[in-house]
Structures are given as C-alpha cells and as structure tokens.
Amino acid sequence: MILLKNSKVQIYIAVLILMVSVAFAYWNVDTFEFLSLDDQSYIFGNPHVKSGLTWASIKWAFSTFEASNWHPITWMSHMLDFELYGLKPAGHHLTNFLLHLINTLALFFGLKTMTKSVVPSACASLLFGLHPLHVESVAWVSERKDVLSACFMFITIFVYAKFTFSKARRLYFGAILFYILGLLAKPMLVTLPFVLLLIDFWPLRRISFFSRLPGYSITPGFVSAVLMLLREKIPFFVLSVLSCIITSMAQISGGTVASTASLSLFSRLCNAILSYGNYIEKMIYPHNLAFFYPHMGIPTRWGTSIIAVALLAATFLFISVAKTLPYCIMGWLWFLGTLVPVIGIVQIGSQAMADRYTYIPLIGLFLSLSWGLHDLTRRFPRVRSVVIAVSVSVFIILIVQTRKQTNYWKNDSTLAEHALSVTRNNFFAYTLKANFLYANGNYNEAIQNSLFALKIRPSLISSRLNMGLCYLRLQKYPDAIAIFSDVLASDSSNIFANVNCGKALLFMGDFSNARQCFKRVLKKDSLHIPTLESMGLMYDLMHDSVKAEYYYSKIRTLPPVRR
C-alpha cells in the first residue's frame, strides 16, 4: 500500500495498464486488409505514395489537393510506410495502432504534467485509448490523419504547458512548430487555439473568471490578463485562419462541399444539434456503430428541440458550478468547440455524423468525468470502493466492445455487413459490399447490391460504375455501354467511365467510338496506363502494329511504381 502511494510507482503502473489494455483491445488489427474505402486513393492505388519518400513525391504532397484535402504530412507518413512495408497491410495498420498507443500515453503524461494527478489522468487516458468510437480512426488506415494530427496536438499542448511554467521562448516557438505539423496532418486542429485558452483556465489556472475561486489567484486586471493570453495565441489563430482558407479551397476543388440546394441550412443546423446528442449517447452507450451514417434529412422538430434545450441546460449547469468544479465547463466546451469544424454546418460529404470525428472532442468529456469521479471519492471516501469497482467494470466492457468493433474493420465485406445490420437506407454500405463482391468475382451479386444502393440514392455514380464493370466482366457489353454512356452524359470527362466504356465498345468492334473514349482520357491524363494498354490493344486488333507499339512503348518508359 505504501508503494502505491508513491507517485513514481503510480506512474509506472498507469503506463503499464495503458499499454497492455490498449494493445489487448487492438491486438489483431495487423491481420486486416486494405479497404476499397479510401485506402485505394490514399495508398495502394496512389502512384505518388507508392514511389516512397522522394523529392518529387514530397513536392507533390505539398502541392496537391488530392482527396479534397491538404495534409502533406499525412501523405508523407503513408509514403514512409510504403518504404518500410510496401503494400503489406499489416505494417500500415501497425503504424496506426502505434500512433494511437503513443497518443494515449502522451495524453496521460500531458494531463499528469498539468494537474499533478496520476489517477484521474490515467482514467481519462484509458477512456480515450479504449473507447469503441475511436476504432474507426485506428483500424482504418486512411484515417492516419486522425491519429497523426492528434499526436502533434498532444505534443503541442505538452510543450505549451511547459512554456507556461518556465516562460522559455524556445518552448513557445516549439509549440507553434508542432501546431503547424498538426495542421499539415489534418486541418481539424484549427480549434486548438481555443483549447489552449480553455487549458489556461483549467488546469493551468492562469486566469480566473471569479474573484474568490478556491485554488486560483485573484486577478484584478481581468481584462488585461485576457488580452495577454489572446496576444499569446495570435500566431496560433493566424495559422488556424490560413488552414481554414486552404482547406476550403481543397474541398471546393474536390466538389465535396454540399450545396444548400441539396441540403438546406436549416437541415444542417438540426442535424448538428442531433449529432451532438448522438455523440454523447454513443459515448455513454457505444452501440450500433457504423462506418457511415446516412443523412436522414430534416430531423423531427420535437427531438431536435429537446436536445437543444438539454445542451443549453448542461452548459448553464456547468457554468454555475465552475467555481468549485472548473473541469466540468472546461471539458464541456472542449467537446462542443472541437466538434464545430465537422458538425455539419458546412456539409462535407453525405454522412450525418462519423465516429472518427470524436477522436479529439471526446477527450473533453473524459476529462470532466474522470476528475468528477476523483473529486467524488475525495469528498466521500466511503464510495471509493464502489467507484473503483464500477470503473474497472467499465474499462473491461470497453476492451471487449472495442475488440468486437475492431473486427468489423477486417475487410470491406465485414464492414459493410455490420453497417447494413445497424443502420437503415445505407446506400454507402451496399456500394462497399458491391465493391467487395466484384473484387471476388461475384458479379451478379455485386449488381444486386448496386441496385439496392441506387434504389436508395438514384444519382449514385459509384454504384453505376460498379454495375458497368460487372457487365463488362460478364461480357454483357451492350448493358455495360448503356450504363457508362449514362454516366458520361452528365460527366463527359469521367476517366473511369470513359476507359471502361471504350473497352466495351472495343470488344463490340466499334473502334471509332472506342477511340473517342480513350482520347478523352488521354487528354486529361496522357499517362493513364489502362487507356494506353487499351489503345495498344485496339490498334493490334486493327492490325496497325506501328501505332500499337507507340502506345505500348509509352507504358514501358514509365517508372515501375506508375506501372
């Protein structure tokens, strides 16, 4: 018992528990496959990533808006993984897991440094490391940006806290540097300057909103103190604004920003309020988790109103107890504020919400809960054994649930099947299942799942393209041509539709129209290998060996990675 009261022993035990429990929860993630869900564009189908870390690929990482984002550090981390593991999924998954483990430990040491309290720091970090809502960020390789940006965020907070203790300028500039790296990994960190202000309030206690707040120094010059802290954050705010501008440019160029015509501002506001409630519910009771939650339109006004009132009531409650329980309002505002960039006011994509968006925001609620229970056991020692027993039970349940949730991410099929079992009208899950079936040669079943997706979302291009590919494989060329032509009628520059429509026309013997399809692709990408191959094949069939060799030779001159 004496040993357990020693702070160093407590730290060693906490670190051991954190490492073992998180490792056990994600123990088999290295056996998972890549997913067709973004992993193709981020890793195994991206020639720049597959070229490894070269000056050319680094230049590309800093200059591209690929995937409707600007996150060069994330691209470089994928390139480094390719250097280390090639296209073996195990290594890429292992990197995500290790970053999550590092984040869990970094959160613990950061909280312990700022609060000097080992037990609540360990509890908050365990909740972070083990919660099933965070599985998506860890088990999905394409979400490297989540775990990587969070890593830089924790380092930024840690260095910033050290700066507030010592006032060393090198630490201040170090915090700015790590913040830049975090933004270059994922722009969701734009809210970090506000988080730093919350940390100034608690646990750093650099400012008090109350003249008689126990444990706080009295600050008569309240306004001057606030201005000083704001001036201190000016470089961070400037970086946030720049990141917002660049991110907006990337997302607009990628066409991922939904217009108010497709989803009204009122619908977005209602969904944002509902999402806050759903995130809290899934934090308390993590059930029916899916990789994609379809946007269901305008929620019921009664349901939205009740959640809005509950959120406001909770805010006023936490403000009212801020004198004695400052971590409550700090954690609550952390949760509300860090979700703002992804809450859906500016709608990116077609999802209503996403588990991955909670990776950083839930930390605020974990802090409030952990320090609340810590205070409870100090004020009422008799309940300590009950709190410990309940806490241990909760952590065991979280480990079991996280392992279960992790297994759904094994491949496209397991992920899609689970999503279909826990959501309604999930066109994205049907599309993902169709992709898996196509990849495994089950073309007729793939067509059926694509039709299910199109019944829910008739305008879904990806499902149409999947059906076209299936008909192409089944040698039903007229059906394939009809589908690809329908896609091209609305988007004549679609590379995928052009090259495959060209192939179907080629196999039908319509060389003239096939050539037009292929030329549209080469006009957009002169080194598109499937099109170069198809042009070569077409001229072979036309007995024009000179032109056929011209296109084949182009392929041979490309670097191996591009091929």
Give CA torsion, residues 40, 41, 47, 49, to 10 deg. -100
Band of residue 210 on the pLDDT scale cut at 50, 70, 90:
low
pLDDT at position 255 is 74
Band of residue 346 on the pLDDT scale cut at 50, 70, 90:
confident
Band of residue 154 on the pLDDT scale cut at 50, 70, 90:
very high
pLDDT surpassing 70 at residue 220: no
Query: CB of 409 within 8 A of CB of 419?
Result: no
DSSP code, position 317: H
3-class SS string, 353-399: ECHHHHCCCHHHHHHHHHHHHHHHHHHCHHHHHHHHHHHHHHHHHHH
pLDDT at position 216 is 47
DSSP string, 281-297: HHHHS--S--S-EE--S
Output Rg (C-alpha) for the chain, integer angstroms. Answer: 26
pLDDT at position 261 is 54
pLDDT surpassing 50 at residue 1: no
Which pLDDT tens digit goes with each residue over 67-96? 989 999 999 999 999 999 999 999 999 999
pLDDT surpassing 70 at residue 474: yes
Superfamily of domain 413-556 in CATH is: Tetratricopeptide repeat domain (1.25.40.10)
Band of residue 207 on the pLDDT scale cut at 50, 70, 90:
confident
pLDDT surpassing 50 at residue 327: yes
pLDDT at position 356 is 97
pLDDT surpassing 70 at residue 204: yes
pLDDT surpassing 80 at residue 213: no
pLDDT at position 181 is 98
pLDDT surpassing 60 at residue 217: no
Band of residue 221 on the pLDDT scale cut at 50, 70, 90:
low
Token representation of residue 115: 């609060």
Give CA torsion, residues 6, 9, 11, 14, to 10 deg. -120
Q: Which whole number is the average pLDDT over 21-31?
A: 96
pTM (2 decimals)? Answer: 0.93
Instruction: Round the average pLDDT of the chain to a whole number and report it.
Output: 92
Q: What does the alpha-carbon distance between residue 430 and residue 453 come to, in Å, rounded to a whole number? A: 5
pLDDT at position 522 is 95
pLDDT surpassing 70 at residue 172: yes
Band of residue 268 on the pLDDT scale cut at 50, 70, 90:
confident
Task: Give yes or no for a cis peptide into 381 (omega within 30° of 0).
Answer: no
Give CA torsion, residues 32, 48, 556, 527, to 10 deg. 110
Largest CA distance in the chain: 92
Q: Which whole number is the average pLDDT over 466-477?
A: 97
pLDDT surpassing 50 at residue 214: no
Token representation of residue 401: 């649930």
pLDDT at position 105 is 98
Band of residue 266 on the pLDDT scale cut at 50, 70, 90:
confident
Which pLDDT tens digit goes with each residue over 485-496? 999 999 998 999
pLDDT at position 211 is 47
Which pLDDT tens digit goes with each residue over 370-391? 999 999 999 999 999 999 999 9
Band of residue 212 on the pLDDT scale cut at 50, 70, 90:
very low
Q: Which whole number is the average pLDDT over 267-291?
A: 95
Residues of the chain with pLDDT > 70, as a percent, come to 94
Band of residue 215 on the pLDDT scale cut at 50, 70, 90:
very low
pLDDT at position 4 is 54
Which pLDDT tens digit goes with each residue over 408-422? 999 999 999 999 999
Q: What does the alpha-carbon distance between residue 141 and residue 501 come to, in Å, rounded to a whole number? A: 32
Which residue ranges make up each domain of the chain?
31-379, 413-556
pLDDT surpassing 70 at residue 257: no
pLDDT at position 252 is 85
pLDDT surpassing 90 at residue 306: yes
Q: Which whole number is the average pLDDT over 132-151?
A: 98
Report the sign of the C-alpha dihedral through residues 421, 422, 424, 430, in that order: negative
